[in-house]
Amino acid sequence: MDHPFDIEQDNNPSLYGNSFQDDQYFNKSLSVSSTLHKLLASSTLQIEIAQTEKLINSNIIVYLIKVFDSETTDHIIVKRRYSEFKSFRDNLLKLYPTKLIPPIPEKHSLLSYVLNSINANNEVELIGFRKRFFNQFMIDLIAVRFLNSSPFLQKFLDPNYELCWNNALNESPISNLPKSLLLSNPLDPTDQNGLYLLLPKINSFHNNNLSELYKLNLDPLSHMNDSLLRLSNQINFAKFPVNEFVTIPTNIINFETYILHNLKILKNLHKYNAGHIKNFKLLLSIMINLGGNLNNFSLEIYELNTHLSNLIEKFGSIIDLNFLNFENFLFENFIPHWHETITQLYQYFNIALNLLNFYKYKILQFKILFNTKFAIFNQLTNLNTSLSVNDLNHLNELNSPSINNLVKSYQSRGSLRTKKSWFRVFGGSNATAASSLPSPALSAKANNSSSTPSTPDNPDARIKIEYLERELNKLDQLIDLMNHDLVSLTKEIDHNLGEFAKLIEKKWLEVFLNFIQSTKQLFIENLSNWQEFKDAFEC
């Protein structure tokens, strides 16, 4: 089996130009790819960040990802740098907006900021921190089993893509992603259905930056549920076809409060951790000082009192030993396992909040569709009322159930002139929702014509009506689509949050266990030290 490093070298086109031997190259790269396939499909798949390296002549740090199988000797090593991890994760999020993609360290995380201010030697600590974080990221990632078959993940781990990661970003499936995730199928953004492009945009939803969504302040889900309820009342009132998607399940609403509470607590814990680490370091420096002083003490009184001097020396060495145990606990256990896991958990909850915010945007979009529909409907009514009742009959032939409904209700009530405009009834004044569908010019025209009633055979009015009919038709299609999407999205989110809760429980358990086991180890070692000291008294 070829060593992966050789392949990496061969793989660099810039080094060899076109002169390398094609056959050999392809064979090698193919064998690597097939090994990777095999590994990713294995149930005993293992992954870790084996080590870090500084690239020659640069300050770039690369992290060596080792993919291996605990049952066989197959393994793949690929080098990735921070920015590649970041673009990988960002694009994963876009590909799977409903999944909870594990976090990577923030570029300027709170921790690295603190480290920077405290320690001049921070680079090593930062790299160590990122290494552990990426390690956890990869492990969490492959634990989401279905991702293992994702071609994008495979490219990330494929040494053939090591030096041409940008290619991977420009190929399918990434190239198939729409400009805005809101204008796509939430369950599969690469879905090429053209209808999605017609969905309304929402201005506050920035450039697809899914990882920042948690920073946006949106209404809590429980409020959204109330407005959904009002919407469905309106729909009933207008006798529109009833939606499948009516409310947000209480499960998800509860989950939002759960996330917010957790974030608050985790933030506190993070703060206390920082304080605790500071205290612990002070304790360590005191212990060093104490050990040194006790040793000195024992030397100074050695001639006066050998026995006491020996005891004090022993005392000093016990303090030194305990110091080592405490130091080991802090740097090998408390910081990497407890403190950093809590940082990670904090990010995880933000990711969950991201997901909920994405969900909220989809619901907002859904509402905008309805508002648009109500607005157009209002215009239509206004236009129609300028025609005689009899004239409405020809509308029956239109293939629009909503118009038919309207016509029916219009005919049964005789006249709509005395009623409030539909527009107001359905809260069409909610213009904050920046909808792209009703063109301002069109609505202006429609208002114009309604304010100056036209003659029955006005051809302008007919054209407008036909135009609005088409719009309405399209809207109904979109509503249908979104309705369907929202139902499955809700199901998916509910499921994913359930998985998330399990993951969190497991993470907490692991943190607790690690804390307990490592402190227990600390206790046992310190205890035996002290017991040894006690024995020294007895002899």
Partner 1 sequence: MNEYFEKYFIKATVSEPIRDVDQSSKPFISYLVTTETDNPSLIKLTTKVTETQIKVSVRRRYGDFRNLYHCLNNDFPFLLIPPLPSKSNLKYLTGDTFSQEFVHKRLNSLNRFIKFINGHKILSQSSVYHLFLSDSNDWLSFSKNIKISNISDVEKEQSFTSNMVNKVVNEELIAETVMNFLTPSKHKKETNKEILEITDKLKKMYENLLKLDKIFARLSKKNSDLSIDYHLFSQQIEKLAVVNETCNTDLVSINDNFKFFAECLNQYSENWSKSFTFINESFLTSLKDCSKYIVNLTNLIELQHNKKIDLQVLQEYLDKARNELNSFPATSSGQGTHRLPPSPIKNKTGGIVNNTTQLIRDTLSTSANGNISSSNTETKRAKLEAKVHQLEHEVELQTNLVQELINKITNEEYPNWDKFNKTELKSSMLELCDNQIDFYKGLVDNWNDTESKLMKRINELT
CA 26 to each of CA 19, 151, 158, 160, 512: distance values in angstroms, whole numbers, following the listed order: 14, 19, 14, 10, 49
Question: Burial letters for 338-364: b for 16+ Cβ neighbours within 10 Å, e otherwise?
Answer: bbbbbbbbbbbbbbbbbbbbbbbbbbb
Q: How far is the CB of 498 from partner 1 (least distance, A)?
A: 8
C-beta of residue 387 within 8 angstroms of C-beta of residue 455: no
Q: Is residue 12 near partner 1 by the rule CB under 8 A?
A: no
Residue in 119, 193, 204, 293 binding partner 1, rule: CB under 8 A = 293
Stretch that binds partner 1, among 44-52, 90-98, 346-354, 526-534 (CB under 8 A): 526-534
Q: Which two tokens stand for residue 90?
A: 């960002």
* Between 424 and 534, CB nearer to partner 1: 534
Helix (H) or strand (E) holding 49: strand 45-54
Residue in 15, 282, 434, 463 binding partner 1, rule: CB under 8 A = 282
Residue 284: CB atoms within 10 A of its CB come to 16
Q: Is residue 187 near partner 1 by the rule CB under 8 A?
A: no
CA 385 to each of CA 380, 421, 454, 461: distance values in angstroms, whole numbers, following the listed order: 8, 11, 10, 11
Give CA–CA dist 455/466, Å, rounded: 17
**DSSP string spanning 64-101?**
EEEEEESSSS-EEEEEEEHHHHHHHHHHHHHH-TTS-P
Give CA–CA dist 205/363, Å, rounded: 13
Q: Helical H runs in 301-339?
A: 306-328
**Total residues in contact with partner 1, by rule CB under 8 A:** 56
Three-state SS at 164:
coil
User: Which residues, 6+ apart, have CB-to-CB distance to 217 below 8 Å?
Assistant: none
Q: Is residue 331 near partner 1 by the rule CB under 8 A?
A: no
Q: How far is the CB of 508 from partner 1 (least distance, A)?
A: 7
Greatest Cα pair distance, the chain, in angstroms, is: 124
Stretch that binds partner 1, among 192-200, 305-313, 349-357, 387-395 (CB under 8 A): 305-313
* Between 205 and 334, CB nearer to partner 1: 334
Stretch that binds partner 1, among 219-227, 297-305, 347-355, 363-371 (CB under 8 A): 297-305
Q: Which residue do the tokens 């920046």 mark?
A: 434
Q: How far is the CB of 223 from partner 1 (least distance, A)?
A: 17
* Between 193 and 279, CB nearer to partner 1: 279
Q: Is residue 501 near partner 1 by the rule CB under 8 A?
A: yes
Q: Is residue 44 near partner 1 by the rule CB under 8 A?
A: no
Q: Is residue 310 near partner 1 by the rule CB under 8 A?
A: no
The mark string for 421-450 relative to partner 1 (x by CB under 8 A, - otherwise) is ------------------------------
* Between 60 and 527, CB nearer to partner 1: 527
Three-state SS at 149:
helix
Q: How far is the CB of 110 from partner 1 (least distance, A)?
A: 17
Residue in 51, 305, 448, 477 binding partner 1, rule: CB under 8 A = 305
* Between 262 and 430, CB nearer to partner 1: 262
Q: Is residue 499 near partner 1 by the rule CB under 8 A?
A: no
Q: Is residue 145 near partner 1 by the rule CB under 8 A?
A: no
Q: Is residue 46 near partner 1 by the rule CB under 8 A?
A: no
Q: Is residue 68 near partner 1 by the rule CB under 8 A?
A: no
Helix (H) or strand (E) holding 462: helix 459-538
Q: How far is the CB of 221 from partner 1 (least distance, A)?
A: 12
Q: Which two tokens stand for residue 228?
A: 């959904």
Give CA–CA dist 7/77, Å, rounded: 10
Cα 124 from chain centroid?
28
Q: Is residue 70 near partner 1 by the rule CB under 8 A?
A: no
Q: Is residue 527 near partner 1 by the rule CB under 8 A?
A: yes
Q: Which two tokens stand for residue 10?
A: 């061969």
Stretch that binds partner 1, among 125-133, 193-201, 447-455, 518-526 (CB under 8 A): 518-526
Phi, psi of 123 (to 5 degrees): -60, -45
Residue in 152, 240, 315, 349 binding partner 1, rule: CB under 8 A = 315
Closest CA to 165 of 99, 94, 89, 112: 89
* Between 110 and 177, CB nearer to partner 1: 110
Give CA–CA dist 169/167, Å, rounded: 5
Q: Is residue 226 near partner 1 by the rule CB under 8 A?
A: no
Q: How many CA atoms, within 13 angstroms, populate the side-chain half-sphere of residue 325? A: 19
Residue in 280, 328, 476, 487 binding partner 1, rule: CB under 8 A = 280
User: Which neighbouring-strand residues pair with 79?
Assistant: 64
Q: How far is the CB of 351 from partner 1 (least distance, A)?
A: 18
Q: Is residue 119 near partner 1 by the rule CB under 8 A?
A: no
Residue in 258, 324, 484, 496 binding partner 1, rule: CB under 8 A = 258
Q: Which two tokens stand for residue 512?
A: 């607790």
CA 104 to each of CA 15, 85, 333, 488, 508: distance values in angstroms, whole numbers, following the listed order: 32, 8, 20, 28, 18
Residue in 20, 82, 297, 467 binding partner 1, rule: CB under 8 A = 297
Q: How far is the CB of 536 from partner 1 (least distance, A)?
A: 9
Q: Is residue 296 near partner 1 by the rule CB under 8 A?
A: yes
Residue in 380, 473, 520, 539 binding partner 1, rule: CB under 8 A = 520
Q: Is residue 334 near partner 1 by the rule CB under 8 A?
A: no
Q: Which residue do the tokens 């992966």 mark?
A: 4
Interface residues with partner 1 (CB under 8 A) are 254-255, 257-258, 261-262, 265, 268-269, 272, 275-276, 279-280, 282-283, 286-287, 289-290, 293-294, 296-297, 300-301, 304-305, 307-308, 311-312, 315, 501-502, 505-506, 508-510, 512-513, 515-517, 519-520, 523-524, 526-527, 530-531, 533-534, 537
